[in-house]
Amino acid sequence: MANRRNGTIYVGVTSDLVRRVAQHRDGGGAGFAARYGCRMLVWFEMWGSMEGAIVREKAIKAGSRRGKLALIEQGNPDWRDLGMGLV
């Protein structure tokens, strides 16, 4: 999730992407994404298991901002809001 192109980036994991995107859009919660207005889904990966998804999430979070930007730019160079068709 991001608040704008090249802005603040939030990385998280969920078992229900549609529900979680809707929560972020509504500004729900008092966490990082709500505080910084991260409401655009700009990139995601699907995993076959929650364990694998959590390992990947931790690896992305441990990486650099440059690495996160590269993932987004590679899969979504225009920073389109991929959640528009989900919610």
The pLDDT tens digits of the residues spanning 11-28 come to 999 999 999 999 998 877
pTM, whole model, 2 decimals?
0.90
For the chain, give the mean pLDDT: 94
Q: What is the pLDDT of residues 59-81, one digit of tens each?
A: 999 999 999 999 999 999 999 99
Q: Is 8 within 8 Å of 36 (Cβ atoms)?
A: yes
Express each pLDDT in 21-62 by its tens digit: 999 988 776 789 989 999 999 999 999 999 999 999 999 999
- Quote the pLDDT of residue 85: 81
Cβ neighbours around 52 below 10 Å, total = 12
Cβ(79)–Cβ(40) under 8 Å? yes
Query: Do residues 10 and 2 lie in contact, with contact meaning Cβ atoms separated by under 8 Å?
Result: yes
**What does R_g of the chain's alpha carbons equal in angstroms?**
12
